[in-house]
Amino acid sequence: INDIMNVLHAINPATEEVVGEYTLVDVKEALSIAKNCEMAFDKWGKLTLEERIEHVRKIADELKSKREELARTAALEMGKPIKEGRREVDKCVFITEYFCEKACEFLKEEEIDIGAKKSYVRFEPIGTILGIMPWNFPYSQVVRSAIPTLLLGNTYLLKHSTYVPGCSKKLEEIFSASLPEHVFANVICRGTVASRLIKSRYIKGVAFTGSVSTGRKIARIAGADLKKVVLELGGSDPFVVLKDADIEKTVEGCVKSRFKNKGEACNAAKRIIVVKEIAQEFTERFVERVKSLNVGDPLDESTEIGPLANKEQLEKIEAQVSDALQRGAKVLAGGKRLERKGYFYEPTVLVNIKRGMRVWKEEVFGPVAPVVIARNESHAIKLANDTKFGLGASVWTRDTEKGERIAREIEAGMVYINKVVSSDARLPFGGVKQSGIGRELSRYGMLEFANIKSVVVQAV
């Protein structure tokens, strides 16, 4: 950010070159945009659900037509390998089409017999929702937040990460081409401006994905006026490998889960916990596979690991690994940044991990896999729960009944057995402990910003 010129520069993390220049919106402009969203709510919220679906369905078509353009912009602004960018756009299409298909079912009035002439529950919009979104999934995070909210009848104001202004502009174009004016809007602004928006009378709720510290600040500001918040604050997901796990499938699952999106995913496997009987074989195969990953230009079709999204992320990963090494950890693969232009870090495997290390107690948002050996199954569960986070977890075992039993003991919002943790529009997404408040996706997520209204009619 150039404070003198009030300009934001988008930086390509693979080359460290400027790829875009954007004017920052000030408080006055941001409030004016929010006011327009509130005014648009009066009409949008009164349309029939079928009319709203007709508008929102067009967004899926726009996303399909701009798939390559969107994937390229994400590669240039935050380093996502272009083939992963295409998959992210495809997911956005699925989310949009799914909620258009299910909206009538999810929002149907529910009749409840309480002995009156008539009694039912209906689901009404509450106004303009401010979405404060992260850079790591610059499209799907917005789409999964905005689409169900819009179908419900709310309007949506996006404040995206300043690392992906081009991505936010692309989304603004797509939504604006499909919806009535001001139903969806985008502000490129500083965090201080976003704080002022939360306080304003135009905003009725806040959806946020990001760090715990920022989530706390948002909750405090919104809480002053008791505004509804949904906070998705990341995690340190355990990847639990039991002694009867299928080694080959588990290793592939671990590589995919830890290194997807170059490790910059809230629901990535961040602590690899392996029962001792299988630890040596698993670790050897895992290290071999990690060493084979191709690090390179995100625009190259063969690239599996792109650069970290920004310099701050690279420096944090370096500091976390350095802390681990100083405390006795050992590097089996990677362990350092690449000696080249860009924010590249080698896919890394660490062993001899201890509880006090930053790679254990903090979220590791990059291509670093700490491997810990558990004495037995109960110790593995204890290690899995030894975290302030509680987003997702996975358990790998041939005994699926045992996997389900362990799932009930793990403190997380999502537990997958023999499958990589992922987001799916059909399932609620969210966590416990410091991983946040509320849910996204599914019917549960769709109703987060609804006025769940009871209506009772008694005969005179």
CA angle 398, 394, 88 (to 5 degrees): 120
For 86-114, what is each residue's pLDDT tens digit? Answer: 999 999 999 999 999 999 999 999 999 99
Whether 177 and 62 have beta carbons less than 8 Å apart is answered as yes
Q: What is the pLDDT of residue 3?
A: 62
Which segments of 128-232 are extended strands (E)?
128-133, 155-160, 184-187, 203-209, 228-232
Q: Residue 364 and residue 37: Cα distance in Å, rounded? A: 37
Give the mean model confidence (pLDDT) for residues 434-460: 98
Rounded CA-CA distance 363/236 in Å is 5
Stretch 62-79: mean pLDDT, rounded? 99
pLDDT at 224 over 70: yes
- Based on its alpha-carbon atoms, the radius of gyration of the chain, rounded to whole angstroms, reads 23
Listed in order, the ranges of the chain carrying CATH 3.40.605.10 are 7-234+434-457
pLDDT for the residue numbered 338:
97
Where is 331: in which H helix or E strand? strand 330-333
Predicted pLDDT of residue 104 = 99
Which residues are catalytic, by number?
232, 266
- pLDDT at residue 5, rounded to an integer: 76
| CATH C-level class of 7-234+434-457 | alpha beta
Backbone region of residue 187 per phi and psi (left: phi > 0; alpha: psi in -120 to 50; beta: other values): beta
Residue 194 pLDDT class (50, 70, 90 cuts): very high
* Residues carrying CATH 3.40.309.10, the chain: 237-388+392-422
Question: Looking at residues 29-49, what average pLDDT do you find?
Answer: 99
pLDDT value at residue 452: 99
Q: What are phi and psi of 63, to 5 degrees?
A: -60, -45
Mean pLDDT of 166-188: 99
pLDDT digits (tens, 9 = 90+) for 305-329: 999 999 999 999 999 999 999 999 9
Q: What is the pTM of this model?
A: 0.97
Q: Select from 3.40.30.10, 2.60.120.260, 3.40.309.10, 2.60.120.590 the CATH code of 237-388+392-422.
A: 3.40.309.10
What are the pLDDT digits (tens) for 392-422?
999 999 999 999 999 999 999 999 999 999 9
